Amino acid sequence: MYGMSRFRTGTSVPEDPDRRLARRDWHSSVDPFARLRLRWHVVVTLLSGLAVAFAVALGLWAVLGRPELAASQSGSLTPTDLYDGIKIALVVVAGIGGAVVLVVVYRHQIYSEREHARAVSSAAREDAKLYAERFGSAADQLGSDKAAVRLAGVYAMASLADGWQAGQQTCIDVLCGYLRMPFESPSAASRVKARGLREEQQVRDTVVKLIGAHLRDAAAVSWQGRDFDFGGAVFDSCDFSGARFSGGSVSFSRAKFTGEVIFAGARFSDGGVYFSEAEFTACDADFTWVQFNGGSVYFARTKFDRSKIRFTRAQVMAGEIYFGEARFNESGAYFGGTAFTGGEVSFASASFAGNSVVDFDQARIAANGRIRLGSAHFTASDVIFDRAELAGGLVDFTWAKFAQGTVRFDGARLVGSEIDFTKAHLDGGVIDLSHPSAYDVAPTFTWTTHPDGLRLPNDFAPPKQRAQEPTALPQQTPGDPE
């Protein structure tokens, strides 16, 4: 209440008498000169008009052959001459009056435009002052030791971001900075601290809720395309379902996630979303039904412990989902029913242990789709392509290592994709291609002898051999945004 009353009081500040006196003096000093300039403009305009009229008359006289201007024979003006003179006089007077009116209107327009510009500038200064006061008030509330006051500060800062376009990114940075501040999960705290941490958790959940709402298409004011830095933040569940990432940079690098992380139905069409070096512990990361049409999501060096990340029924048309050097322990990445018409999913140099799994069950891979598992290590972990339709594109296992793990293609349609096991290594693992529903392109192997664990159908075509085997698998790890 105190903060709000202070804000209302601060918005109606009485005018300084010195400023009012200075403005009055300024007007009194300017007006005489303005009037003098107006008189000179009128005089100059009249003289210019007379000069133009004389020049036109002289020109007409010359064009007509310079006739002599003789008086009438009677030596007096006829009614026709009188009427002609009156009409000429009226035209001259009308022309002079019109010139004066044009000068006055022009001067009035100039004066009005200057006054409008001055008023706009003054209003902008007042608005900037008001926004600065609101920003300071909201920031003070966020720094309060009372959770209710901090919660009010969150809403105040979000409301300010909606109305202050020039300062919108600054307000967003403050809200993201609040989430990056050190925080201990209530479940891991002592009973004495748990209540205060639960209150703080409510404040943080509200920040995430407001940001997520502003990234959806239905938002009254959109924050799409802005930068969001959640680096190192702690998330005990979060909901970004239906969000659109159409530009800017969104960083969850080194963040820690537990509980439910929801990006279901999100759309990535530009920019990057970074989860590099993040940690998912006992977490369900839901990316079901997401769409990739140019944007990219990076999970480089991310750790998944007893967690699963689901891209079920996603649409990958362009862009990249990158799990380079990620670590999976008792965890899984699920792409069941995902359509790969373009773009790429890469697990380059990732490691899987503790019965982890990469599941492409019923996935559809078209001509431009690419799935890369090159140099990945599978220890007692599986890669599943059951009932998948590989109708083009690339499935790359070059330099992959399988120890007690299984690669399975049960019921898969192998009708056009290139499946490359160049330099793959089997150490007690199994590559099972024995039960495809259809095939017309044999995978590429570089084994000179049939290794234990490689299972092929009886009528399988002879495996292709590379003429030139790669000596190493080049790896590139996308960097985090600066």
Tokens standing for 7? 């804000």
Please tell me the predicted confidence (pLDDT) of residue 140: 95
Higher pLDDT, 339 or 5: 339
Tokens standing for 392? 């083009």
Under DSSP, is residue 88 helix (H, G, I), strand (E, B) or coil?
helix
**171 falls within a domain:** no
Pairing of strands 327-329, 303-305: parallel
Q: Give the domain range for residue 391.
A: 299-465
CB 161 within 8 A of CB 171: yes
Give the end of a domain, one of 124, 141, 158.
141
Of 427, 424, 384, give the one whose Cα is nearest residue 407.
Answer: 384
Tokens standing for 155? 């809403």
Which residues, including other chains, have CB under 8 Å from residue 203's CB and lie 6 or more apart? 147, 150, 151, 154
Give the end of a domain, one of 105, 124, 141.
141
Mean pLDDT of 400-429: 92
What gap in Å lies between CA 249 and CA 227, rounded to an integer? 5
The percent of residues above 90 in pLDDT, for the chain, comes to 53
Which residues, including other chains, have CB under 8 Å from residue 291's CB and lie 6 or more apart? 266, 267, 268, 269, 314, 315, 317
CB 280 within 8 A of CB 302: yes
Q: Which amino acid is at 127?
A: D
What confidence tens digit (pLDDT) does each residue in 127-136 have?
678 888 999 9
**329 falls within a domain:** yes
Domain count, the chain: 2
What gap in Å lies between CA 343 and CA 269, rounded to an integer? 12
Q: How confident is the model at residue 27 (pLDDT cuts 50, 70, 90)?
A: very low
Which residues, including other chains, have CB under 8 Å from residue 28's CB and lie 6 or more apart? none
Please tell me the predicted confidence (pLDDT) of residue 64: 60
- Phi/psi region, residue 28 (left: phi>0; alpha: psi -120 to 50; beta: rest), is alpha
Q: Is the pLDDT of residue 477 over 90?
A: no
CB 408 within 8 A of CB 433: no
**252 falls within a domain:** no
**37 falls within a domain:** yes
Please tell me the predicted confidence (pLDDT) of residue 381: 96
What gap in Å lies between CA 283 and CA 332, rounded to an integer? 11
Of 321, 383, 319, give the one whose Cα is nearest residue 351.
Answer: 383
Q: Is the pLDDT of residue 122 over 60?
A: yes
Task: Write the CA distances from 104 to 34, 115, 216, 325, integer angstroms.
Answer: 12, 16, 54, 76
**159 falls within a domain:** no
Tell me the angle at which helices 79-142 and 147-163 cross, rounded to the nearest 10 degrees. 160
Q: Is the pLDDT of residue 32 over 70?
A: no
Average pLDDT, the chain: 82
Q: Is the pLDDT of residue 209 over 80?
A: yes
User: What value, to the nearest 5°, has the Cα angle with vertex 262 and ends 260 and 268?
Assistant: 155
Mean pLDDT of 23-52: 57
Q: How confident is the model at residue 5 (pLDDT cuts 50, 70, 90)?
A: very low
Q: Which range, of 309-318, 383-392, 397-406, 458-467, averages the lowest pLDDT? A: 458-467
Higher pLDDT, 293 or 47: 293
Q: How confident is the model at residue 194 (pLDDT cuts 50, 70, 90)?
A: confident
What gap in Å lies between CA 292 and CA 277, rounded to an integer? 22
Q: How confident is the model at residue 4 (pLDDT cuts 50, 70, 90)?
A: very low
| Cα 345 versus chain centre, distance | 22
CB 245 within 8 A of CB 265: no
Q: Specify which residues 284 forms β-bridges with.
A: 260, 308
What confidence tens digit (pLDDT) does each residue in 176-187 have?
999 999 887 666
Mean pLDDT of 414-439: 91
Q: Is the pLDDT of residue 100 over 60?
A: yes
Q: How confident is the model at residue 123 (pLDDT cuts 50, 70, 90)?
A: low
SS (H, E, C) 288-332: CCCEEEEEEEECCCCEEECCEEECCCCEEEEEEEECCCCEEECCE
Give the end of a domain, one of 141, 158, 182.
141
Q: Is the pLDDT of residue 21 over 60?
A: no
DSSP state at residue 458:
T
Tally the residues of the chain: 482
Mean pLDDT of 336-350: 95
Please tell me the predicted confidence (pLDDT) of residue 29: 45
Please tell me the predicted confidence (pLDDT) of residue 465: 54
Q: Which range, of 47-61, 182-196, 228-242, 259-273, averages the lowest pLDDT? A: 47-61
**395 falls within a domain:** yes
Whole-model pTM: value is 0.73
**239 falls within a domain:** no
Q: Is the pLDDT of residue 107 over 90?
A: no
**300: how many CB neighbours lie within 10 A of its CB?**
23
Mean pLDDT of 280-294: 95
What gap in Å lies between CA 223 and CA 363, rounded to an integer? 33
Please tell me the predicted confidence (pLDDT) of residue 450: 83
φ and ψ at residue 109, rounded to 5 degrees: -65, -45
Q: Is the pLDDT of residue 34 over 60?
A: no
Please tell me the predicted confidence (pLDDT) of residue 297: 93
**55 falls within a domain:** yes
Under DSSP, is residue 159 helix (H, G, I), strand (E, B) or coil?
helix
Please tell me the predicted confidence (pLDDT) of residue 473: 47
